[in-house]
Every structure is written in structure tokens, then in C-alpha cells.
Chain A
Amino acid sequence: MSTAAEPPASSAGDAALSHPLHREDVRALQRLDPGAWRTQLMARVRAGARPLTVYGRRDGDRVLLTAVLLGEGGFSLLRTSVHPAGGYHELTSEIPALHCFERELHEQLGVRVAGHPWLRPIRYQGKDQAAMNSYPFYRVEGKEVHEVNVGPIHAGVIEPGVFRFACFGEHVLHLEIHLGFQHRGVEERLLRKDPRALAPLVETIAGDTSAAHAWAYAAALEALTAPAGGAREASGGAQEASGGTQEASDGAAARARARAIALELERVAMHLAGLSGLAADVGFVPGASTYGRLRTTAINTTMNLCGSRFSRGAIRPFAQPQRGGLALAKLVQKNLTLLRTDLAIIHECFLSSRTVRHRLAGVGVVSADTARQLGLVGMAARASGVALDARSPGRGAFAAPPLDVCVEPAGDCLARARLRIAELSASLRWLELACAEGLAEPAAPEPARPLLPEQLAIAVVEGWRGEVIHCVETDEQGRVIHYKVQDPSLRNWMGLAMAVRGNEISDFPICNKSFDLSYCGNDL
């Protein structure tokens, strides 16, 4: 357990890192008893720390629960060991943001979470997939109440998922979202291979967030590796800062810059895709076609850098695989200039259209309070006035050139559209400045080194949708024993369900599009 007295093992404050990253010596991590774990977790959340994730892994016939919080002083971890049948008393009633983690613990590991108010399946893990059709939908009774079921198969090329509405006429009383149709057993698969060869698999966790997941994976793995200097398996200190020469840290900075470029290009491409979809859903032809056309420019730029339009292969641990060079930098600059000039016109056209504003304003409102309570992250939180961005305050690659963090207060569909527009501009500004300094030349991977034993690395990366979290833990021999993946969608789906309440059912598609969540990121 890391307390305030002990110097934090965290490298969150380290200037060389662009995103929060933390390595914890598991041997030094105290195993609290479930009661104390619960009390301390609650106390820290009340004191202002934000729960990043709560997850568990099997440990003999018991289950180890780990809570990761991020506060003013950096990361703090709480660990306990519970017996599945005994479990512990739920925390969701006190801290609603934990609802999805407790549901996952119950589903994944059979932990009894006594008194949980909404113990619904998250994704029907493993063998439970056969029980998919038995989802216990909440029913609203009443003569005039009718149910509308959408999915799991949808019109158009969209991922599968069930939306069950309880409606009174056109008015939505309740929406329940039943996912899990994309479950592929990602977390188990990640344990089957050499931890250094996981990048291609990690990039498919959520295919539209490849760069963010790959960076989180690479950061976690690099944090778990012994510094090149020797067997300095110390319990603390970030290796980038403590080990290596000036050249090594220059290499790390260039690598971080290249990774950040891939991440921001992904953000630009996905925001363009989202805005195009939103414009199409309200029937606004110029927006649908122009944003869609410009997305091609963005993903083609990514292809120029790494050979894939969907950022596959852009980020690899211990390496910088992207192409560099003056000619390429010029091409990228040209594309970015095209994006900036054309976007200025279409943003103006989209935002100044009265019919678009009429359609989006006041629809699907999530208040800042609700967003905080539900623990919404990323884009969905920022559009509700909650300034939550793992890239801020600007460190590492985001220190210079600086990156603006955008926040919109209104929390409706228009705010989410405006936020995406603002983030597009911010990311493009950053990209233009970053690419003006030239692109990093590719660097061959460093020779493989063993992973440190009994360490837990937590990497957070701000993907376009929100924070992507990878937690990787090693055993006594330095083998990976647990790999926990968390896509922002896991936490944000409940935000969509709440946003739709009290709205018209015909407005659901634009609410859904404005959140733009991942099904496979949730289903793993």
C-alpha cells in the first residue's frame, strides 16, 4: 500500500511521460482485510481521489481485489483478498461510479457483492455467453407503457448490442443496454502469448482506438522492464528518469512524440467520423459528406506514417516503427493544412445551421453532477463540464507544443458535437506544431530484457473516447499473471442510458451517435 508518508512509486509527475503511468511493487502492497479496504476506498474517494478502476484476479481459491485511484498526489492502490462466496458489501450505493466494476467482479470472478442495486451482466463472459438471451431486463409496468427492442442486429454497419426502451408514447422512461455480443475473451488471450508480442492483439481490443490501446500496452510493458543499465529492480522510480543516458532519454522523447502524433491523428479521424455520422443522423447533407470526406484525408495521413489507415503498427513497445523524413513531414503538413482550411468552412456551416442546432440542443442532457456520479470519462465527461483529460496538465509530448484541453458545460448532444469540433481544432493545432519540428526517424526495437518480478504497472492513455487503462502484473518469475484492460466505453454506456431518459425515443439515435461508444471495447 502506498501511503502519503512513503514516496510514491508513481511516475505520474515525471516530465518525460506524456500520460499518467505508475509502477507498484506488489510485495510492498499491503493486503487489507475487506472491511478496511472498503472503508479506505470510500475515504479516499470522499477525499477527492477518482477511482480509475477496480478489478480482481483469482488467487488460489480467493480473489484479489485491486482498486486504483488517481488523486492530487498521484496514484494510490488498495488491495484486498476476499473469498468469492463471502465477498464484500457493495459500494455502488455510496459511489455510483463503481457500479460497472462491481458488476464485472461479480460476473468475471463470481465474487458476491452483497446488496448491489443493479447487478446486471456486463458482457456475459466466457461460457456464460450461451445465456445471452436471458438478460433480466428491467420492466416498467403499466397499461400505456410499451417496450421497444432494438438490436442486437442493427440497420447499417454497426456493432451488435440490444437497446430495450420502456416508453410512454414517444417518451422514454427507461433504457437498458445489453451488451456482450462482441466478447472475444481478450483478457485471457493476452495471457497466452509472449507479453512482448501482444501489440497486434491489443490493437484489436477496440479497432477505432488502436493507437490509444497500443500506447497503454507499450507504456505498461516498458514500465515493467528492467532498465538497460542493469538489474536495478528497485521498488520505485520511473526508469525513463532514473536510468539511461541523455541519448536514451532523447530517444524516449522522440518515441513519445511519434506515439502522440499517432494518437492525435486517430482522435482527428474519429472525431471527423463521429461528426459525419451525427450530421447524417439529423439529415444534414453538407456535414455528412464533408466531414466524411475529410476523415479520409486524416486516415490516409496515418497510413503514410505507419502503413495502416487505422493506426495498426504505429506503436510498438521499445520501438519507434513510424516512418520519418523530410518529404513525409511535408506531406503530413500539407494534409493538416487542408484539414484546417476545409474544416473551418464546414464547422461554420454546421454550427450556424439553425435546423442542426434545433435538433441537437437540449437533447440527451447529462448534467455535470450526473457525469461525476456515474464516473463518466473522456469526451462524455468534458461535454458535461467535467474537465477530465489524461493529457493534462501537458507533460512529455504534450508539454511543448502545448495542447488545449476543451470543456463544454451544457452536457447535451450539441455540447458533445461542439466539444468534438473544439478538440479537432486543438489536436490539429498541436499536430501542425509537432510535425513542423520534423518527424522522428524509425528506431529499431531495443533488445528484449526480462520483466521485473512482482510488479504492477498501470498505464492510462487519453484515447479519443476517453481514458484507456491497462494494468499488467507480473509474478515471482517475471511472467505476466494478470492483464486488465479497460476501455472508456465500460463506464460511459451508463451515461448514454441516463441521457436518453425523459427524451423522445426518436432522439435516441443522435444521443447514441453523440456518445459514440465502443461495443467491443466493453465486451472485450
Chain B
Amino acid sequence: MGFWRIPLDTTDIDIARGRVHILEERCKGCGYCIEFCPKKALAFSSKFNQKGYHPPYMIKPDECVNCHYCEIICPEFAIFSVEVEPAEEKQA
């Protein structure tokens, strides 16, 4: 995401981090989460689920800022994100 100027408090702000969980068997492959992810962190995977759709997967797992938009736009209750604590992130 580009900024037209760098915000003055950039160094003080801790950006939230999230981890996306995908319930692949519920997915119907509409692609809303992929299209509207503000970080473009998701993509269609090449594998099929039981119903024959391609569920999404994280191409850039480190980019997730836990905005929950994939969770609220998903019509299938098939994706959600949880916040990752900064300490947990360092360990991982």
C-alpha cells in the first residue's frame, strides 16, 4: 500500500498482525477474499476441495494486518483471521 506522504508517527505505531484460517471444505471459490484483500495476500490454490472448488491460500502470510475484511466479505463463513501477538510472532 503506497502513501503519498509518510505519516509522522510511523515509527511509533505497531501494525497489527494476523493469521488467516481457511475452512477449505466450505469454500465455493467466489474469489471475494482474494480480490478485496487490501494486502493482496491471498490467491487461488491449485488444489480442489470436496465440492470441486479451488479454495484460497495465503501467498503472503506475513503481510496480513488482521483487518478481518476477508472474514466479513466471505459469504460462506469459510475464512477468518485471528490476531497474532507480537511476541508470538517473534517466536514463530
Is B truly associated with A?
A: no
Residues of A at under 8 Å CB distance from B? none
User: B: which residues have CB within 8 A of A?
Assistant: none
